[in-house]
Amino acid sequence: MDNSILNNIPELPVADWVETGVDWLTDNLAFLFDALKDGGDTLMDGMVDLLSFIPPVLFILLVAAAAFFATGKKFGLAAFSIVGLLYIYNQGLWEQLLETLTLVIIASLISIIIGIPVGIWMAKSQWANAIIQPILDFMQTMPAFVYLIPAVAFFGIGMVPGVFSSVIFALPPTVRFTNLGIRQVSEEMVEAAESFGSTGSQKLFKVELPLAKPTIMAGINQTILLALSMVVIASMIGAPGLGEDVLTALQRAQVGSGFVAGLGLVVLAIILDRLMQNFNK
Amino acid sequence: MAKVKVENLVKIFGRREEQALKLVREGKSKEEILKQTGATVGVNRANFSVEEGEIFVIMGLSGSGKSTLVRMLNRLIEPTEGNIYIDGENISTMNEQELREVRRKKISMVFQNFGLFPHRTILKNTEYGLEVQGIDKETRQKKAEKALENAGLLPYKDQYPNQLSGGMQQRVGLARALANDPEILLMDEAFSALDPLIRRDMQDELIEMQKNMNKTIIFITHDLNESLRLGDRIAIMKDGEVVQIGTGEEILTNPANEYVQRFVEDVDRAKVLTAENIMERPTFLTLGQAGPRVALQRMQQEGLSNMLVVDKDRTLRGYVTDEEVAAAVKQGNTDLTSILHTDIPQVPRKALVNELFDLIHNIQTPVAVVEDGKLQGIVVRSFVIAALAKESEESNTNG
């Protein structure tokens, strides 16, 4: 009986709506998406070329030196970087590494450039906070694969849709942590800044952001790691890099080569994470 | 003309502000308004004026609205109703721009927990007020260094706040507030977070400083002794209302109501003065560091016939006398433990002075003030007697 009532409600065409919406965007904003794709491809191809231009030996040494100084002149991370990167080179994954690195860097930079101002806005405005908070929840809980579909619709396949979906997936931590960091600045600090006649932006740049910096950096760290995990998934829509090798291995059930490329990703993740954490100090 | 004049100042927290305000105007109490509207009255129609060069103390227990009141003077908290005049200018109707100018030039604030920016050096902290005014780097650095020099803190200018002790941090807080040469200083429980000995030093310094500077100081405290020490005039607050304003003497002599009366009764010095109010910095020997030779030399230097002995973590162990230390040196003994007397009288920080009097009556050693086994200070007989004498003198003039 009860079920019959429920069954009498016609099924809502949610899927149709979304498709219509995406189609509309694809048709009407095609010029924008095309421009972004062309610009993005040029930028990222250029960056991969630039990185490839650096001899691998020099590249490895540069990373090791950065690790050495970032960790306060300790050898641990530097040694790990050398061994890890030599392993990747040895397995013939150097080109893929540079492509993945480019994707991660671009996706992270875009996330940071969008994320920090949005986080500041949320901290300053209860309205913005109330509206953006559920959007962030949505972005983080929606299965990452779902973003791949509109990304393809907008940008076709390749690096640009990979970055697009990575940004959606990786953006929330930077926004959340920036918001949190600024809200956590103690009342007395804010009062001290105001009592000396600071303007809003003086308060923000001289007191709030410096005090929120460790928290914001933790958010950026999360963003980078999420971007890294997403560029692997984005290989399904033709984003090149280490993820592509993992995907190929998966499709052919080659456990060995899957492991080899996967380990390369782990190496990259550890180096990026530790470097970020130490720059943060 | 009054430097600062406050007229019918009201602050209501919570919703239904309008309704609560109406009740405030009708003269209803904080409690009634809370019951009827759910809104909290922070400050209830406060009126007072402060003269130039005066130290005006606002005293009340926590929740009495004193911190809210002082924050309305520079509008860190927006008043719900009422007017604040500084040099005849109405602060409460100023726009943001004008208010910022007043905050930059006329009023500075010192905070209970110092309010120093942890990511800035002492010098950069002191510069802050000048920096936001857009003063060029060289000038502001010079002014900040001058302010630090006056506070005796110039050597620490490149350190960070967490490298300094509480007392020094608050000196920086004060130097920062003075660096842009304000006319009015707001001090919100400025010394409350400091331990009692440092606190008294700071009070003395403030009085000394005020002699040369002649700022108008509005000082918030919950401590009656501090009010009496510092205040040219004192306003007592309860439940958001100013219940009495007068000099310390006037308030002690003619308490306006029962609430003030209760404060005043506490002033009976022997009753209210505790060991921590009259204790001095202890001189002591540390077990394991000092042997009999060091002990003897220190005692001769300080002119003491006995000295307290503590562990490395300042746990009180006892005392030694000069005769026995001298004997130990002769015998070539290198350890103080064997000649340690452990029958040392100890009192907690909150021990009342008239209890101390009974204790100190017929003993030779000083009394150790101890908290959790750790030595905090010493009380010697002359201090107790001086404190009691002061009390009887006061009760004579009051009575």
**Tens digits of per-residue pLDDT, B268-300?**
554 556 777 778 888 888 887 888 888 888 888
Say how many C-beta atoms besides its own lie within 10 A of residue B207's C-beta.
Answer: 12
Output the CA torsion sign for B237, B242, B243, B249: positive
* A186–chain B nearest CA distance, Å: 9
Residue B150 lies in a domain: yes
How far, in whole angstroms, is CA B184 from its chain's centroid?
18
Checking if the pLDDT of B399 tops 50, the result is no
- Measure B389 CA to nearest chain A CA, in Å: 42
- Would B212 be classed as within a structural domain? yes
User: Looking at the structure, do residues B138 and B239 belong to the same domain, yes or no?
Assistant: yes
Query: Residue B390's pLDDT is what?
Result: 63
A216 contacts in B (CB within 8 Å)? none
B-chain residue closest to A203, CA distance: B132
Could you say which DSSP state residue A206 is in? I
Q: How many CB atoms lie within 10 A of CB B248?
A: 18
Q: Which pLDDT value is given to residue B116?
A: 95
Q: Determine, yes or no, domain membership for B193.
A: yes
* DSSP at A205: I
Answer whether A197 sits within 8 Å of B112, measured CB to CB.
no
pLDDT in tens, B355-394: 777 777 767 677 888 888 888 888 877 777 766 666 555 5
Quickly name the fold that domain A13-53+91-280 has.
MetI-like fold (1.10.3720)
Domain boundary among B254, B271, B288: B271
Task: Tell me the per-residue pLDDT of B299-320, one tens digit each, with 9 for 90 and over.
Answer: 888 778 888 888 888 888 888 8
| Record: contact A199-B131, CB cut-off 8 A | no
Q: State whether A195 and B107 contact (CB < 8 Å).
A: yes
> Which pLDDT tens digit goes with each residue over B196-251?
888 888 998 899 888 888 899 999 998 888 888 899 999 999 888 999 999 887 88
pLDDT at A1: 53
CB contact under 8 A, B103 and A196: yes
In CATH, what number is assigned to the domain containing residue B296? Answer: 3.10.580.10
Chain B residues with CB under 8 Å of a chain A CB are 71, 74, 76, 99-105, 107-109, 111-113, 115-119, 128-129, 131-133, 180, 186
Which chain A residues contact residue B118 at CB under 8 A?
A: 211
Q: Are residues B335 and B289 in the same domain?
A: yes
Within 8 A of A189 by CB-CB distance, chain B residues are 115, 117
- Is the predicted pLDDT of residue A9 greater than 70, yes or no? yes
Of B91, B101, B109, which to mutate for an interface test with A (greatest number of A Cβ within 10 Å)? Answer: B109
Residues B263 and B296 in one domain: no
A2 — pLDDT class (breaks 50, 70, 90): low
Cβ of A188 and B104 within 8 Å? no
Contact between A183 and A121 under an 8 Å Cβ cutoff? The reply is no
- Look at residue B30 and tell me if it is in a domain: no
Instruction: State how far the Cα of B392 lies from the Cα of B387, in Å rounded to an integer.
Output: 9
Q: Say yes or no to pLDDT of A263 above 50.
A: yes
In angstroms, the separation between the Cα of residue B232 and the nearest Cα of chain A is 25
**C-beta atoms surrounding B145 within 10 Å:** 18
* Cα separation, B258 vs B266, whole angstroms: 13
Report pLDDT for A204: 95
Task: Indicate whether B259 and B321 sit together in one domain.
Answer: no
- CB B129 to CB A211 under 8 A? no
Span B89-97, mean pLDDT? 92
Residue of A nearest to B176 (CA): A196
Chain B neighbors of A193, CB-CB under 8 A: 128
Instruction: Tell me: do B319 and B347 sit in the same domain.
Output: yes
pLDDT of residue B394: 53
> A-chain residues within 8 Å CB-CB of B105?
197
B257 & B328 share domain: no
Beta strand B55-59 pairing with B216-221: parallel
Q: Are residues B194 and B293 in the same domain?
A: no
The closest CB to that of B111, out of A191, A197, A198, belongs to: A191
Residue B320 lies in a domain: yes
Domain identity same for B195 and B297: no
Q: Which residues of A touch B111 (CB under 8 A)?
A: 188, 191-192
Residue of chain A whose Cα is closest to the Cα of B118 = A211
Cβ count within 10 A of residue B157: 19
pLDDT, position A278: 83
pLDDT exceeds cutoff 90 at A11: no
Nearest CA in chain B to A186: B115
Task: Identify whether B28 is part of a domain.
Answer: no
Interface mutation target, options A186, A187, A194, A196, chain B, most CBs of B under 10 Å: A196
* Residue B315 covered by a domain: yes
A vs B, Cβ pairs < 8 A, gives 59
pLDDT in tens, B104-157: 999 999 999 999 999 999 999 999 999 999 999 999 999 999 999 988 899 999
Considering its fold, how many domains does chain B have in total? 2
B115–A202 CB contact, under 8 Å: no
B108 contacts on A by Cβ (under 8 Å) = 195-196
* CA–CA gap between residue B131 and residue A193 (Å, rounded): 11
B347 contacts B369 by C-beta, under 8 angstroms: yes
Please report whether residue B27 resides in a domain.
no
Identify whether the C-beta of residue A8 lies closer than 8 Å to the C-beta of residue A59.
Answer: no
Q: How high is the ipTM of this complex?
A: 0.78
| Residues sharing a CB contact under 8 Å with residue B35, sequence separation 6 or more, in sequence order | none
* Digit-coded pLDDT (tens) for A144-197: 888 888 888 888 888 899 999 999 999 999 999 999 999 999 999 999 999 999
Answer whether B76 sits within 8 Å of A194, measured CB to CB: yes
Q: Which residues of A touch B (CB under 8 A)?
A: 188-189, 191-199, 202, 206-207, 210-211, 213
The answer, yes or no, to whether residue B98 has pLDDT greater than 90, is yes
Domain boundary among B236, B271, B306: B271
Domain that residue B288 falls in: 275-388
Contacts of A192 in chain B (CB under 8 A): 109, 111, 115-117, 128
CB-based contact B128 A188, cutoff 8 Å: no
Residue, of B393 and B56, whose pLDDT is higher:
B56
- Does residue A281 register a pLDDT over 70? no
Verify that B138 and B255 share a domain, yes or no: yes
State pTM to two decimals: 0.75
Mutate to test the interface with A, among B132, B176, B181, B220 (most CBs of A within 10 A): B132
How many other C-beta atoms lie within 10 A of the C-beta of residue B326?
Answer: 15
When the pLDDT of each residue in chain A is averaged and rounded to a whole number, the result is 90
pLDDT score of A82:
93
Q: What is the pLDDT of residues A48-106, one digit of tens each?
A: 889 888 899 999 999 999 999 888 888 888 999 999 999 999 998 999 999 999 999 99
Q: Give the pLDDT of residue B268.
A: 54
Give the distance from residue A188's alpha carbon to the nearest chain B alpha carbon, in angstroms.
Answer: 6
Whether B263 and B148 map to the same domain: the answer is: yes
Does B122 share its domain with B166? yes
| Domain closes at, from B229, B254, B271 | B271
Whether B190 and B331 share a structural domain: no
